[in-house]
Structure 1
């Protein structure tokens, strides 16, 4: 059950992050958009690492 919830959380995180990045680029705010992109990639990396750890046996 926990891996499913984590997967849903990662999906919603990505949807919100992409929307934020697109809106910031649309307003001409390049540095905040790049900061959001870096934060999104970092949170994705942590989320996928946790998901892999949850799915490993033992």
Structure 2
């Protein structure tokens, strides 16, 4: 994921699972990308509560 951040950023990322979405959120936060101001991240399987995530 680090390499892809140097390319043109998409408006959103759609992940097949909430676990994948949480990993993307952590990576984006580590890179200093503000979610949802700069990019949106969507998880699909509803396994994690939305209260689990920390918003920018």
TM range, smaller chain: 0.3 to 0.5
Tell which structure's C-alpha radius of gyration is larger.
Answer: 1
TM-score of the two chains, using structure 2 as the length reference? 0.37
Q: Which has the higher strand share?
A: 2
TM-score of the two chains, using structure 1 as the length reference? 0.36
